[in-house]
Structure 1
Amino acid sequence: MPNNKPVAERLRFTLRQLEIFAAVARTGQVRRAADVLHLSQAAVSQAIAELADALGVALFERHGREIQPTVAARQLLALAIEPMDALAQLPERLAPSPGGSAVLSGTIRLAASSTIARYVLPAGLARVRQRHPQLNIRVFSGNSAQAEARVANLDADIGLIEGPPQRDDLDIAHWHTDTLQVIAPPGYDIEAIELAHLDRHAWVAREPGSGTRAVFEQNLALAGYTAPPAHLIIDDSGAIVRAVAHGAGLACVSGLAAEQASASNPIQFVALAGLSLARPLWRLHRASTASSTSLLKRFEAELDATLDRPTKLKS
């Protein structure tokens, strides 16, 4: 029902109520928001009710066991994110810090696809930790689909994947660009490899859900060719390179993985004319509160500034 109190009297709500509202809006569940915010479900429900009363609008509608944000709630979320983020940064902006740069503190949970976790992140994360010893970082490694699921389920704060992204409930942005590389065993007749007849060769591939596999198959399809069947499936790029080096067949892996693993594994690099194997790497997150969004933005900037970019990784 409409709130008939004067505007000046009823527009009294807190930043914490907005944070709780944002968490419920993004998770779609009071229970999940309560878990994320370490509050009771009753406290979350009360904060939402008080905010709705202060604004004089309905914020959520129940459909069975699910709740959906109203049009007013979606408008509020869009309008509130920027000022919430600015307010959350006030303590760190006002606090004195040695050397003129604020020290990051807190916990970052990062979900990364395995190639990024193994070949791209280690040096950069080590340097971030050296500059910010109060920052705790936990990395979850898996394939791209698993990394997306962790972020969507709020089990990770940020995701870095080889893509292509499959979900529409995450904030997704281009991060860097990598190049895939087809490899062959030593002594293999690479002159006999033709795009139109890739199925004449044995192939080693990543598992379904892998960004590397998805990009390879999509780029083949865009070029008008059929992806060859996988005869051996391994969920680790380094292990694939080792298998190819021992004669298991051809494979398409990240150029980063191929370059580093080839130092100790004899393989051949195969050029397939007419096939583009460049691929974007994606950054995604689904922040639950304004304060975590602020920390994530600063962490992302620090990581990008300190990351050792391998030769094949281009901004």
Structure 2
Amino acid sequence: MRFTLRQLEIFAAVMATGQIRAAAERLYLSQAAVSQAMVELAEALALTLFRRDGRTLRPTRAAYRLAELSAGPRAALGALPAQLHGTAEAKLAGPVHIAASSTIARYLLPERLAALAAHHPDLRLSQSSGNTTQVAARVARGEADLGFIEGPADREDLRAAHWQTDRLVVIGAPGMPRQWPLADLHGARWVMREPGSGTRRVFEQRLALAGLAVPEAHLVLDDAGAQVRAVAAGAGLACVSRAASRSAVAAGDIVTVALGDLVFERPLWVIRATHDGTDALVDRLIDTLAGPISVAAQAPVSLRSTE
């Protein structure tokens, strides 16, 4: 038994109009093509679908039953373009791998991803983390659908767009001066991220713009949370995302320290591989993750992804 979606569409037009001629005009087909489609469909199903009454076709009971049973599958197949291209009717579904630099992965994305997963049960999200350089490489190789990074990608095989703005703060142990003189920048012991980290790059670039030499790293850690704990233990000063420091500052484990009037801010970027082309569903996912968590919990979407 073989029949096609096109035959079912023609059948639906004949049911709606009651005439071969009218159905042909509606579908911009010849009457012969419509008649042939109805003959082939009836033969494939081993059913009599219409009885002729003058110029009008009278549907049989089997035709009414076929119309009822085929309406859902025809609608579902007709919605496939919307599901694939991300129009408003598409829902968020399928595997998405997101790669994110460690601060974003740990402090900025989890609540948003949890909200998405809760409201879109057919969406299968996974996330990996690394520094900015590592995440960019994963996205370029196609190992992740999306990347969220703390520093510019600086690669021709990636497309980058602004996602959010992040404020960096300098932190110290309780008892540290709340104002640290720039002239004594090198007098402090510094707990820094590893080379390739977007946080470290922003810190060094801001000092350079102010005409200041970058201090030596006395302790290098590859995680913002580890920096916060090391500072709380008295290891020195560190520059971290405010999001990474917030709970420890509230608990009194660390304090924020001003470096003169320097302000450390950075754009956070969402990146995609240039060879992926345009994917409207990915665009909608990015828009959802860019909004407040309440928006992320409510917005419908669909696709693949990575940090």
Range of TM-score over shorter length: 0.5 to 0.7
Select 1:176's aligned residue among 164, 172, 176: 164
TM alignment of 1:41-56, pairs within 5 A: none
* Corresponding residue number in structure 2 for 1:106: 94
Pair 1:93 & 2:93 matched: no
Post-superposition Cα deviations, 1:241-299, rounded to whole Å, max 9, x if no partner, equal 11101100011000110113334461111122331201110111016555x82331122
Q: What secondary structure sits across from 2:124 in the alignment?
A: strand
Runs of 4+ in 1 over 6 A off after TM superposition: none
2:186 matched to 1:199?
A: yes
SS at match of 1:156: coil
Greater C-alpha radius of gyration: 2
With over 3 angstroms needed to count, the CA separation of the structure-2 counterparts of 1:102 and 1:94, relative to structure 1, is closer
Within the candidate set 143, 146, 149, 1:158 is matched to 146
CA distance in 2 between counterparts of 1:94 and 1:238 reads 39
Paired residues for 1:219-230 under 5 Å: 219-230=206-217
The equivalent residue for 1:129 is 117
Give the alignment's Cα RMSD to 1 decimal.
Answer: 2.3
Q: How far off is 1:137 after superposition?
A: 1.2
Contact 2:97 2:144 in 1 (8 A): yes
The aligned counterpart of 1:298 is 284
Q: Write out per-residue CA displacement over residues 108-134 of structure 1, whole angstroms, 9 at most, x where no aligned residue.
A: 111100110111001111111122111
User: Counterpart in 1 of 2:268?
Assistant: 281
Question: Contact (CA 8 Å) 1:123, 1:308: kept in 2 or not?
Answer: no
- What CA distance in whole angstroms lies between the structure 1 residues aligned with 2:237 and 2:274? 40
Residue ranges of structure 1 left out of the alignment (5+ in a row)? 1-88, 310-315
Equivalent position of 1:240 in the other structure: 227
Question: Structure 2 CA distance, aligned partners of 1:110 and 1:278?
Answer: 24
- Deviation track 1:10-55 (CA, whole Å, cap 9, x = no partner) reads xxxxxxxxxxxxxxxxxxxxxxxxxxxxxxxxxxxxxxxxxxxxxx
Name the structure 2 match of 1:212: 199
Q: CA deviation at 1:304?
A: 2.5
2:293 is equivalent to residue 307 of structure 1: yes
Deviations 1:136-159 (A, max 9, x none): 111111111111111111111111
User: Aligned letter for 2:284?
Assistant: R
The match for 2:8 is none
Tell me by how many angstroms 1:164 deviates: 2.8
TM-score normalised by length of structure 2? 0.65
* Count of matched residue positions in the alignment of Structure 1 and Structure 2: 215
Q: Distance in 2 between matches of 1:206 and 1:146?
A: 14
- Residue identity over aligned pairs, in percent, reads 49
Would the aligned equivalents of 2:231 and 2:237 in 1 still touch at CA under 8 Å? Answer: yes
SS of residue matched to 2:117: helix
* Secondary structure at 1:167 match in 2: coil
Distance 1:287 1:161, change over 3 A: same
Q: Which residue of 2 aligns with 1:186?
A: 174
Q: TM (normalized to structure 1)?
A: 0.63
